[in-house]
Structure 1
Amino acid sequence: MSQKIITLCYRKIIDDSNSSHWDKFVHEDSFLEFKMQSQFYNQDGKYGTFAELLMHVPGADKLHFLVSAAITGYLRQLNGIIPDILDNLGRRFLTFENFKFEIINSDFNDIEKHKVAINFFSKPLVWHERIDNHLLVSQFTGAETDETFTNLFQIQPFVSIHSIKTIS
């Protein structure tokens, strides 16, 4: 019997409006790191925003990676569990191995305009079926068993199937 193996992507947007402590720490520390790292690309203070740097300074797109170093400690605090995504029983269940940090927008002089995204990529899941706007999934182990423990969760904004593979 064939199985569909999927990887989900959850895009978590963090800006000044987020209320959780974790989000606020990520927001503040990524802003401070952005200001520090961007000095190399804006030595004469000619540009005021991240968008201007991207348009006018070659290599400024490296700031996504350079600023991500400021948040890796916060990601370790998650213990490999993707935040905000709950199953129908109210439990966090979705695990991740990889992420991609992205600066959406920023202004060197205004933290309120600083906006970032963390794209979490789940570990492989077996997609069993779709029930209305819910997915029934289980962790992919590669081994066949008589019993499989599943999670049912509602598809929500900023969650997408990143990749799909059918195996026999």
Structure 2
Amino acid sequence: MPKGNVRFAYRIVINQHSSTAWEKYLWESTYQEFLMQAQLFNDKAQPALTFKELLSKNEKAEQLHFLVSTAAHPYILQWKGKIYHLADTLGNNFMPFNYCQLDIIDSNIKDIKAHEIGLTFYTPVLSLIDIWEGHYLISLDENLQNLSEGLETLMYKMQNRLSIAYFKPIV
């Protein structure tokens, strides 16, 4: 019997140590966007150097998360709705996502090495069928009317940065 409908959230942290070309391009693009957009919120007489310092001086700098996300958008579109950093137990990358949220962990207007962002990908509502030995057994089909006919399933290992962001039990 299915446990319920879920939405997963999967977070990727991108910084100077990120290794793929996609991550490096995204890291550099979001840093350049941060440099441009931070000027809108910074005090020209005594500029803040880091994102956290800027936030402490100007609460409107919270908008930088959204403003910087525009630079990430073309890179996220390249994934065509699949989370390629998250493979199922067979090694396939089929986990779909509906939207992605960028947050700036920290940055520095004088040092690109301090630039660090997080991307959190949210799946559509999926069916959580069971949890077996540290693995989520899910179905991409949220309509569970004909369980007697069977379901196509995927299995994902529980891991860091993969979380259930929404749960609705099936009664």
The corresponding residue for 1:103 is 104
* Deviation (angstroms), 1:2: 6.1
Provide the TM-score with structure 1 as the length reference: 0.95
Higher strand share: 1
CA-CA distance at 1:3 after TM superposition: 4.8
Q: Share of identical aligned residues, percent?
A: 32
Distance in 1, Cα, partners of 2:134 & 2:3 = 20
Which segment is superposed worse, 39-48 or 80-89?
A: 39-48
Gaps of 5+ in 2: none
Counterpart selection for 2:152 from 149, 153, 158: 149
Residue in 2 aligned with 1:27?
A: 27
Whole-angstrom CA distance in 2 between matches of 1:135 and 1:46: 47
CA distance in 1, matches of 2:155, 2:170: 22
Q: CA deviation at 1:144?
A: 2.9
* Distance in 2 (alpha carbons) for counterparts of 1:132 and 1:41: 49
Query: How many residues are matched?
Result: 168
Aligned counterpart, 1:6: 6
CA-atom RMSD in angstroms: 1.4
Moved over 3 A (4+): none
**TM-score for the superposition, normalised by structure 2:** 0.93
Contact 2:2 2:127 in 1 (8 A): no
Structure 1 regions of 5+ residues with no counterpart? none
Cα gap change, 1:140/1:3 in structure 2, threshold over 3 Å: closer, same or farther?
farther
Question: In the alignment, residue 62 of structure 1 is paired with which amino acid?
Answer: Q
Q: Deviations over 1:79-101 (max 9, x none)?
A: 00012111111000110011111
